[in-house]
């Protein structure tokens, strides 16, 4: 429990107060807007169509623009400038476009509700290129510059699933089923849907190419913001196709996305300036982490819904362009699933091959280790000159034979002998001749002993012989 609390305290210790104040402001703003929405429904307050929602998004966007630059510091390094200047600048342009665009929508809804707010639509459409520039400016891990093919296939499966749903519910109906909308409105709405797909696709690939903890926390906030933007856009386009232009409730998601974007920029900035966290990020970049199981199963999560969509569509429509493109997207998704399974089987075979090679290497190393241990044991118990057991081995055998003799009452004889005038041999003929004499003496003595007898070099020119099952008269013979 102590370690858990200590880890939690360390996790929140480096968070600046400005982040908590910003988070409290964003939560209060969302709570006030939600309370107003509930009061409108409860008390049936009359409101203009979408004007209050657009004005709330405008205020939230400009407030998020201010929050995004809290904690900015002057930095000289190119990576720090990227964190503190270029990335926030790109996302700030997106917030500015959304704020000004929604302000124009508010004006049109309040004073010219019958006219199409084309300038506002174009400005809000400019939000998406700025978001894409900000995503591409995020620094990626050096070790993740090349995304593995299996991870790329997982990302493509998710992207193709989103394309299938987007085509059937949003993009296809905008292009081929809505005959009353002007051409300019159709083009802009189609651009919204395409930018949403591109935004989610880039975000999926980005999340697979970043492993450092500090960047991952910022990417989680960016992911929440992008998901809210894309989800609200999809709901709005679906409502527009059915003649419903009320954006009051949808504005809640846009406001939340703006605040999530601003808070994620603060996380990105203060984690990049903290020296301790920077060192932790550098260590994280060199650490191989296993992919969580949920990330491996995520590409398959929406496939059952795609199958339900295809089978339902097959029963009612088989020839329209909307159905044909949906079937083609589903076939591409199925092809990606087959490719993923093939890659998985291939990786399993490669993994087994590597395991077998490692097992053979381990067995080879174990065999060499056993031989080395046997050699060391032989060196520890064998006299290097004569090849006979040394003093240590002799006394170990002596203890065993004495214990066996006492237990069973069998006789045991011990002989000592040495070479006469051995010192004269060394002095006259040299130590090499003395060594040869000792080897010959030990060899001849061993040749006349029985199989169960033990002879070894006791020390110097002295030898000791252990004669189990031998009494004194037999030993003298």
Tell me, what DSSP letter sits at residue 245?
-
Top-confidence residue, 183 or 83: 183
Q: What is the pLDDT of residues 53-62, one digit of tens each?
A: 888 899 999 9
Residue 63 backbone zone (phi > 0: left; psi -120 to 50: alpha; other: beta)? alpha
State whether 155 and 278 are in the same domain. yes
**Structural domain contains residue 72:** yes
**Structural domain contains residue 315:** no
- Whole-structure pTM value: 0.64
| Domain with 249 in it | 14-287
DSSP class per residue in 175-239:
HHT--SS-HHHHHHHHHHHHHHHHHHHHHHHHHHH---HHHHHHHHHHHHHHHHHHHHHHHHHHH
State whether 273 and 408 are in the same domain. no
CA within 13 Å, CB half, 115: 12
Among 195, 248, 266, residue whose Cα is nearest residue 226 = 195
**Structural domain contains residue 246:** yes
Alpha helices in 317-430 (DSSP H): 321-381, 391-408, 422-429
Top-confidence residue, 25 or 10: 25
**Structural domain contains residue 90:** yes
Q: What is the pLDDT of residues 118-171, one digit of tens each?
A: 888 888 888 989 988 888 887 665 444 455 677 778 878 888 888 888 888 888
Which domain-ending residue is among 240, 269, 287? Answer: 287
Q: pLDDT category, 299, cuts 50, 70, 90?
A: confident
**Structural domain contains residue 382:** no
CA within 13 Å, CB half, 194: 11
pLDDT the model gives residue 60: 92
**Structural domain contains residue 322:** no
Which domain-ending residue is among 287, 311, 329? Answer: 287
pLDDT the model gives residue 139: 66
What CATH number corresponds to the domain at position 176?
Answer: 1.20.1070
Structure token pair of residue 49: 């169509």
State whether 258 and 397 are in the same domain. no
Write the CB contacts of 191 (distance below 8 Å, at least 6 apart in sequence).
125
pLDDT the model gives residue 43: 64
Q: Alpha-carbon dihedral of residues 58, 61, 63, 68, nearest 10 degrees?
A: -170
Tell me, what DSSP letter sits at residue 292?
P
**Structural domain contains residue 51:** yes
Asked if residue 421 lies in contact with residue 461, where contact means CB atoms within 8 angstroms, the answer is no
pLDDT the model gives residue 1: 41
Which domain-ending residue is among 248, 272, 287? Answer: 287
Structure token pair of residue 133: 């520039």
**How many folded domains does the chain comprise?**
2
State whether 268 and 416 are in the same domain. no
**Angle in degrees, CA 363, 366, 371, rounded to 5:** 130
Write the CB contacts of 314 (distance below 8 Å, at least 6 apart in sequence).
323
Contacts 24+ apart (CB under 8 A), 181-185: 181/240, 182/116, 184/116, 184/118, 185/116, 185/121
State whether 217 and 92 are in the same domain. yes
What CATH number corresponds to the domain at position 414?
Answer: 3.30.70.270
State whether 56 and 169 are in the same domain. yes
Burial of 46 (C-beta count, 10 Å sphere; 0-12/13-18/19+): exposed
Among 233, 218, 122, residue whose Cα is nearest residue 170 = 233
Among 231, 207, 230, residue whose Cα is nearest residue 217 = 207
**Structural domain contains residue 23:** yes
């Amino acid at each position: 429990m102590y370690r858990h609390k200590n880890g939690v305290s360390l996790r929140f210790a480096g968070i600046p107060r400005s982040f908590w104040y910003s988070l409290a402001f964003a939560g209060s703003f969302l709570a006030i807007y939600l309370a107003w929405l509930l009061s409108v429904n409860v008390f049936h307050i009359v409101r203009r169509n979408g004007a209050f929602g657009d004005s709330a998004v405008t205020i939230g966007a400009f407030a998020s623009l201010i929050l995004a630059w809290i904690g900015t510091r002057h930095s000289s390094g190119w990576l720090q400038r990227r964190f503190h200047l270029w990335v926030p600048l790109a996302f700030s342009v997106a917030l500015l476009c959304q704020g000004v665009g929604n302000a124009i929508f508010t004006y049109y809804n309040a004073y010219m509700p019958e006219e199409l707010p084309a300038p506002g639509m174009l400005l809000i459409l400019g939000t998406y290129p700025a978001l894409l520039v900000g995503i591409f400016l995020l620094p990626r891990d050096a070790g993740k510059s090349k995304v593995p093919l299996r991870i790329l296939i997982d990302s493509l499966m998710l992207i193709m699933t989103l394309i299938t749903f987007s085509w059937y519910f949003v993009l296809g109906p905008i292009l081929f089923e809505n005959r009353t909308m002007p051409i300019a409105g159709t083009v802009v709405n189609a651009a919204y849907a395409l930018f949403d797909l591109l935004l989610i696709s880039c975000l999926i690939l980005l999340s697979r190419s970043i492993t450092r903890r500090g960047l991952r926390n910022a990417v989680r906030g960016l992911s929440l913001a992008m998901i809210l933007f894309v989800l609200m856009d999809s709901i709005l386009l679906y409502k527009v196709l059915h003649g419903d232009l009320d954006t009051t409730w949808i504005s809640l998601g846009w406001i939340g996305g703006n605040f999530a974007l601003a808070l994620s920029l603060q996380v990105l900035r203060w984690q990049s300036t903290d020296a301790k966290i920077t060192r932790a990020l550098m260590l994280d970049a060199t650490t191989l982490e296993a992919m969580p199981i949920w990330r491996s199963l995520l590409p398959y999560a929406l496939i059952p819904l795609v199958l339900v969509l295809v089978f339902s569509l097959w029963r009612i429509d088989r020839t329209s362009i909307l159905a044909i493109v949906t079937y083609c997207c589903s076939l591409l998704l199925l092809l990606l699933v087959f490719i993923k399974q093939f890659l998985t089987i291939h990786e399993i075979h490669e993994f087994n091959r590597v395991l077998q090679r490692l097992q053979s290497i381990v067995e080879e190393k174990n065999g060499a280790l056993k031989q080395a241990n046997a050699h060391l044991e032989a060196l520890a118990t064998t006299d290097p000159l004569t090849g006979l057991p040394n003093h240590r081995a002799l006394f170990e055998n002596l203890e065993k034979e004495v214990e066996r003799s006492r237990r069973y009452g069998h006789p045991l004889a011990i002989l000592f002998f040495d070479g006469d005038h051995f010192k004269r041999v060394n002095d006259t003929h040299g130590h090499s001749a003395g060594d040869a004499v000792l080897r010959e003496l030990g060899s001849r003595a061993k040749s006349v002993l029985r199989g169960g007898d033990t002879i070894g070099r006791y020390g110097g020119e002295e030898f000791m012989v252990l004669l189990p099952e031998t009494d004194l008269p037999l030993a003298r013979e």
